[in-house]
Amino acid sequence: MSRVNLHYLELKDSYLFRTIDRKTTEYLQEHPGQRLLRLGIGDVTLPLAPVVIEALHEAVRDQADKASFHGYMPEVGAPFLRKAIAGYYAKRGVQLQEQEVFVSSGASDDLGDLLDIFQRGIDTLLIEPAYPAYRDANVMAGNNIISLDSSERDGFAPWPDASISADVVYLCSPNNPTGAVYSRDKLAAWVAWAREKDAIIIFDAAYEAFIQDDAIPHSIYEIEGAKSCAIEVCSLSKTAGFTGTRCGYTIVPLELVRNGASLNAMWVRNRCTKTNGISYILQRGAEAVFTDEGQKQVHEAIALYKANAGAIMEALDACGIWYCGGRNAPYIWLKAPGGMSSWELFDTLLERCQVVGTPGSGFGDCGEGFFRLTIFGSPADTREAAARIKALWG
Ligand code: PLP
């Protein structure tokens, strides 16, 4: 008999988005003609930057000509894109060798696949509420999950707890779902904790491009000593609208060595075994993101999303509602007014404002009483939603 991985049976069903769908469908059936303002969207809505589209077209033309045609690409990424990504880090003072940069088809893939280079059954620390894929990938791997709850008191970005040890910790800044960011001091404390505990930090920087405060690190490698204890996973999904196009990157420093084994060499071996590289066409599109013009264009799109954040934050400020996020992240994590539960606030916003968001309790127990709004919706709908929230509680 085949011995399948029974850890899959330990995975919890996610009722969150199914329940949201059911409640909104029922509401629309009972209120025909009502239009909902959807602020729960976790996907980008603006198209790819023109400079990316141009590069994609040019790459398609390359593939049409024998002289410029590309077959299999290197499993670890095209040299031109590894160089462009290393150049992007260099602008922030982080020096990377090109062989430390691995091109991926998105952050989700690598956040789970990276567990391949650790033994099964390791201790993994998750800071709750957390992006659900961290937990599920670790459950599938049969790992022991330790939770550290974040809260309003620490701004949903906790300091490390010296009494906790783990092999791996996932840190996400800017955070999904809370929009919280880790200050330089907090990240330095986490790097010191990891070095002390001999743990590896998997730093999820998927939303780094949304950071607008200069003091907030975009990369864990802005912290001294991080190269010996951290892997960084990033994505062009939200920063450059690549959710449906797919491209990301992972940094595994050469300094990262455990038990005499280089994690960089292990990851090279893993990629060469489990992937056959990312499409040439997509990598050319991704390369365009890192040009000066590409950066200008993707930040114009981010500025449009940020204007949505401004409208929501202004409404919450007027209502005296506590929140974090928004300023440096595409998520706003607010405290339900009047001691309501997350689902009570969901129902109230749906029925009284026709606004749909995401209950915080869906991201773990310590999200109870909180609620996530995103800034990826249309400007008109977001402004209208903000005005209705302000009218209700302002
Ligand atoms: N990490 C976080 C925190 C996310 O919120 C997401 C997507 O929503 C991802 C990673 C996955 O991004 P990708 O589209 O690159 O797989």
Q: Compute the average pLDDT of residues 246-253.
A: 98
Residues 193 and 135 in one domain: yes
Q: Determine the average pLDDT of the residues in 279-297.
A: 98
Coil, strand, or helix at residue 326?
coil
From 275, 291, 307, give the residue that closes a domain.
291
In a domain, 75, yes or no: yes
* pLDDT value, residue 305: 97
Q: Say what the pLDDT of residue 242 is.
A: 98
245: closest CA among 104, 392, 342, 388? 104
Number of domains into which the chain is organized: 2
Helix axes 280-289, 292-319, angle to 10 degrees: 70
Per-residue pLDDT, 1: 79
Tokens of 228: 């010996």
CA separation for the pair 176, 172 (Å, rounded): 7
- Atom 5 of ligand 1: nearest residue by CA position: 176
Residue 370 CA, chain-centre distance (Å), reads 19
The answer to the question of residue 116 being in a domain is yes
Whole domain around residue 349: which residue ranges? 6-48+294-393
The model's pLDDT over 3-12, given as tens digits with 9 standing for 90+, comes to 999 999 999 8
What is the mean pLDDT of the segment spanning 264-278?
97
Q: What are the tokens at 349?
A: 């916003």
Residues 148-163: what's their mean pLDDT? 97
Q: What is the DSSP letter of 46?
A: S
CA of 107 to the centre of ligand 1 (A): 6
Q: Report d(CA 137, CA 122) in Å as an integer.
A: 12
pLDDT at 155: 97
Residues 157 and 251 in one domain: yes
CA 135 to ligand 1 centroid distance, Å: 14
CATH number at 359 reads 3.90.1150.10
Q: Region 322-335: what's the mean pLDDT? A: 98
Claim to verify: residue 153 and residue 208 sit in the same structural domain? yes
136 and 208 within one domain: yes
**Atom 16 of ligand 1, residue of closest alpha carbon:** 108
Give the tokens for residue 384. Answer: 């209208």
pLDDT at 15 over 90: no
Specify the ligand 1 atom closest to the Cα of 111: 10
- Would 384 be classed as within a structural domain? yes
Could you say which DSSP state residue 126 is in? E
Collapsing DSSP to helix, strand or coil, 223 comes out as coil
Residue 57 has pLDDT above 90, yes or no: yes
How do residues 357-387 score in pLDDT, each as one tens digit? Answer: 999 999 989 999 999 999 999 999 999 999 9
| pLDDT tier, 157 (very low <50, low <70, confident <90, very high otherwise) | very high
Q: What's the full length of the chain, in residues?
A: 394
162 and 268 assigned to the same domain? yes
Q: Which of 232, 257, 291 is the last residue of a domain?
A: 291
Q: What does 139-150 look like in DSSP terms, one character per residue?
A: HHTTPEEEEEE-
185/317 same-domain check: no
Angle between helices 79-90 and 280-289 (to 10 degrees): 20
* Amino acid 13: pLDDT: 82
Alpha-carbon gap, residue 322 to 1, rounded angstroms: 55
Domain of residue 63, CATH code: 3.40.640.10
Say yes or no: 275 and 315 in one domain. no
Ligand 1 center from residue 326 Cα (angstroms):
17
CA 176/CA 267 separation, integer angstroms: 26
Average the pLDDT over 277-300 and give the result: 98
Asked if residue 354 lies in contact with residue 35, where contact means CB atoms within 8 angstroms, the answer is yes
CA–centroid distance, residue 206 to ligand 1 (Å): 6
- Residue 1, domain member (yes or no): no
70 with 42, same domain: the answer is no
The chain-wide mean pLDDT, for the chain, equals: 97
The reply to whether 83 falls in a domain is yes
Percentage, residues of the chain above pLDDT 70: 100
> What pLDDT digit, counting tens, does each position of 28-46 carry?
999 999 999 999 988 999 9
Last residue of a domain, one of 274, 291, 308: 291
Q: Which atom of ligand 1 is nearest to the CA of 248?
A: 15
**Structural contact between residues 240 and 234, judged by C-beta atoms closer than 8 angstroms:** no
Model confidence at 81: pLDDT above 90: yes
Average pLDDT (223-251) is 97
What pLDDT score does 42 carry? Answer: 85
Residues 81 and 42 in one domain: no
In this prediction, residue 233 has a pLDDT band, given cuts at 50, 70 and 90, of: very high
> Could you tell me if 178 and 61 lie in one domain?
yes
Q: How far is CA 101 from the centre of its chain?
A: 18
Q: Hey, which residues does 128 pair with through a beta bridge?
A: 149
Q: Say yes or no: 92 and 146 in one domain.
A: yes
Question: Is 35 in the same domain as 161?
Answer: no
Q: What is the largest CA-CA distance in the chain?
A: 67
pLDDT given at position 14? 80
Name all residues whose Cβ lies below 6 A of ligand 1. 42, 106-108, 131, 172, 176, 204, 206, 235, 237, 243, 248
Q: What is the pLDDT of residue 123?
A: 98
In contact, 87 and 290? CB cutoff 8 Å? yes
Q: Average the pLDDT over 301-323 and give the result.
A: 97
Atom of ligand 1 nearest to the CA of 107: 15
